[in-house]
Structure 1
Amino acid sequence: MSGFAYAIRDGRAEEIDLKTAPAATGDLIWVHLCVSDDRARAWLSEEAKLPDYVIEGLVAAETRPRCTPMDDGALVNLRGMTEADMGTDLLASVRIYASAGHVYTVMRRQLKALETVKQGVIAGRIGDPGDLIAEFSSAITEELDPVVADLGDRLDVCETQIEAIRAFRLRQRVNRVRIEAIGYRRFLAPQRAALEKLAALPVDWMHDDDRVHLSSAADRAARMAEEVEAIRERAGLMHETLTDLRGELIDQRSLVIAIAAMIFLPLTFLTGLYGMNVEGLPYAKEPWAFDAILGLCAAIAAAITGWFSWRHWTR
């Protein structure tokens, strides 16, 4: 079985065997499982003897942050940073079922916050289910905070480079920031609602200090959700700006090409006319004819260029 269990008695944590965890006694029994193991569902049903609706919530494939009261306990889903590459799904989930004296946590991918929570348990900072959930929420929000701030910094760098745009890679970088912001936004707003709902649950195993910590984590999640939303809007506006700049750059280059074509069009006609191998071309036998044609071509080119400049078409 993939996982571990801790029994907390009088502020001291002791790691215990998963097989004996359901029958263990103490102030808090924490059981953590990884559902990638096929036996996890069976263990939750046969050993822990949890209700089917609780098990379904713990092992669900797709979850959004939420808090669902269940009898004398609560099922909580939170999202946090993970070390694994998850593609477009930037945050991994932790499913928590808490009741008086027991907490069951289930993950498909290990969160970075898990190690922080384990260290808190070992250090004796956690004594009841409320403390454990508060530790999870605080660790998750503390890890997300610098990530969201980094998104804003990356967007600030992109904004400073707009005026000196010379490559189209800047638009790709803005798109990447926008995609990441959308990914975080999907979970930060409901996570705030889940933490606020959990802090307001009328359960005996949730103490006042736990509610304060959960409210603090909810406020930080709300602030990050607002910042991510602002980043997403800024990235959208910047993408439109870059698209407009690219369109203007293409128009300017097209105008230069069109002006060059207009200048050389009459010159091409004149040189093509005198390049024909036929008799009767005016002044074809005169020794000054070549110099005259060159001078005429230069005069025509200068006149057309001067006219474009006068009309400000070259700007």
Structure 2
Amino acid sequence: MSQQRPEFIIDSWDFSQHPALSISSELHDRQQCWYHIQRDLPGIADWLTASGIPDPLIDAVLEEDTRPRFERTNEGFLLILRGVNLAEGERPEDMLSLRVLFYKGNIYSFRKRPIRSVGVIRERLQKQDGPESLQDFLVMLIEEMNNRLEELLDQIEVQMEQLEDDAIGTTSERQRKLTELHRRMLRLTRFVRPQLTAIERFGSEAHKWLDAENVQWLVNERDAIQRELESLEMLLEQVWMLREHLQQEVAEKMNRNTYWLSVIAGVFLPISFLTGVFGINIGGMPGVENADAFWIFCGALAIIAVVEFLLLRRLRFW
């Protein structure tokens, strides 16, 4: 009696022939197959054990919190990658974990949430336009994950250009958006840097599992993620430069406002003194008996204000 595909296996393909053939039964004791697995459903550990996979590897692929890394095993390797989260309503920089286990000629990939890069490959396989072998599958998977990351970095560059435009938005709005963008890029750097290290380690030993052509393609993808990391680091430098520019704008605006307040206070200081003196309600104040004294006093204050204005102007206070 044939064994049907368990619920936790999202997709499975036989690459022993070309084009690859989708399989749904008799999953054990096969070679050159790819099994894509939902790792948070019950029964996975038992199924992997029945496939001959050792317990330490099962624990590694089902571990909850992981970072990108590469580990060579006696019968293959474990490659843990992170892909951009393109789910609706999610933050792309919260990169999703994909664990890829190559063991005894088969590939097992484990995900918790859908990853667009894997979805693209599945669509191509269904159209018979996908990878021709497991080797091609590995390289294409890394390529698609790099493509999604590059698209995200392009979007971030556009947002940076908008923030650098002084004509768009107020300084406080730009600072708030810049802080949010900075936080996003730091999350990306947290995973992209170790991912580059993992792919470099994989590339250094890839000749054991990949032919010469695919090794070269893998080198190209390693260079691509290196460029993406450099672009991310450059964007982070731009963030600091823009932050300093915005802080300088705020400081200049405060200094300008403080300066004008000082000028105004300087102009009105003697006027305030005179009005205070003449506001004393005691006998002997000059002009008390003169009906025109108020207007004479106002005229004197105006003359004093004009003289102060001209004096400050001559001294180049502005």
Match of 2:256 in 1: 252
Residues 4-48 of structure 1: per-residue CA shift (max 9 Å, x gap): 32223311333333x73233x24x211111223244344333x33
1:285 to 280, 289, 292: 289
How far does residue 110 in structure 1 lie from its aligned partner after superposition? 1.6
SS at structure 2 position matched to 1:201? helix
Match of 1:74 in 2: 77
1:195 to 186, 196, 199: 199
CA contact (8 A) 2:146 2:221 kept: yes
Residues 275-306 of structure 1: per-residue CA shift (max 9 Å, x gap): 34333211122122112111121122223323
Match of 1:15 in 2: 22
- 2:313 aligned with 1:312: no
Q: What are the within-5 Å matches in structure 2 for residues 1-315 of structure 1?
A: 1-2=7-8, 3-17=10-24, 20-23=26-29, 25-26=30-31, 28-45=32-49, 47-84=50-87, 90-122=94-126, 123=128, 125-161=130-166, 166-201=170-205, 204-314=208-318
Residues 122-143 of structure 1: per-residue CA shift (max 9 Å, x gap): 3253243322111110111111
Taking only the aligned residue pairs, the percentage that are identical comes to 20
Normalising by structure 1, we get a TM-score of 0.88
CA pair 39-271 structure 1, distance change in 2 beyond 3 A = farther
How far does residue 99 in structure 1 lie from its aligned partner after superposition? 3.0
SS at structure 2 position matched to 1:93? strand
CA contact (8 A) 2:36 2:109 kept: yes
Normalising by structure 2, we get a TM-score of 0.88
Of 288-297 and 150-159, more deviation after overlay is shown by 150-159
Structure 2 gaps of 5+ residues are: 1-6
Provide runs of 4+ in structure 1 moved above 6 Å: none
Letter aligned with residue 58 of structure 1: V
Distance across 2 between alignment mates of 1:107 and 1:194: 18
Of 146-155 and 223-232, more deviation after overlay is shown by 146-155
How far does residue 102 in structure 1 lie from its aligned partner after superposition? 0.4
CA contact (8 A) 2:34 2:108 kept: yes
Of 252-261 and 264-273, more deviation after overlay is shown by 264-273
Distance across 1 between alignment mates of 2:52 and 2:129: 28
Of 91-100 and 216-225, more deviation after overlay is shown by 91-100
CA contact (8 A) 2:85 2:91 kept: no
CA pair 100-309 structure 1, distance change in 2 beyond 3 A = farther
Distance across 2 between alignment mates of 1:172 and 1:143: 26
Letter aligned with residue 59 of structure 2: E
Distance across 2 between alignment mates of 1:309 and 1:43: 88
CA pair 264-202 structure 1, distance change in 2 beyond 3 A = closer
Distance across 1 between alignment mates of 2:37 and 2:92: 25
Residues 73-110 of structure 1: per-residue CA shift (max 9 Å, x gap): 01001111122355595211211001342000011222
Letter aligned with residue 158 of structure 1: L
Distance across 2 between alignment mates of 1:68 and 1:124: 30
Letter aligned with residue 129 of structure 1: L
SS at structure 1 position matched to 2:20? strand
RMSD between superposed Cα atoms in Å: 2.3
CA pair 30-166 structure 1, distance change in 2 beyond 3 A = closer
Aligned residues: 309
